[in-house]
A = this chain, B = another copy of it.
């Protein structure tokens, strides 16, 4: 029995996401759990939980250096506000409904995130595995097309 009104949380958050994901990003900064999680899933409905974390890698191709890999210190994520969060939220709602998810949580960093730190988190819950995987892939593909976030390398 997939939820027709999935729980959706989508936020743009300053800096690295971990360990904020479990605390501040979801619970702090004015986010009201009561409003967003007003329709909790019945126990036993969710059969698959899929969580993706994107982490800043040390090596990034530099166009200014003929495409060679150079060593990074960090990425600076520039967001076009508030459109970035609006598009992130709209995408989250659309994917959650298209794939009949139980819930979708998407968090993306704004500003500087050091190598090895988390800049993107996506958590999808659904009755079955197949929809969770399809939803995750679709979300990330669309994120890279439609959500106005750019990354600028900070070279070592």
Contact = CB atoms under 8 A, between A and B. Distances in A.
Is the interface on chain A under 10, 10 to 19, 20 to 34, or 35 or more residues? 20 to 34
B129 A44 contact: no
The A interface is mostly helix, strand or loop, or mixed, namely mixed
Interface in A49-65: 49-59
A83 interface: no
Contacts of A133: 133, 136-137
23 contacts: A1-B59, A42-B58, A43-B115, A44-B58, A44-B115, A45-B58, A46-B55, A47-B56, A47-B57, A48-B52, A48-B53, A48-B54, A48-B55, A49-B51, A49-B53, A50-B51, A50-B52, A51-B52, A52-B129, A52-B132, A54-B129, A129-B140, A133-B136
Given A1-B59, A47-B56, 9 more contacts: A44-B116, A45-B58, A48-B55, A49-B53, A49-B55, A51-B52, A52-B129, A54-B129, A133-B137
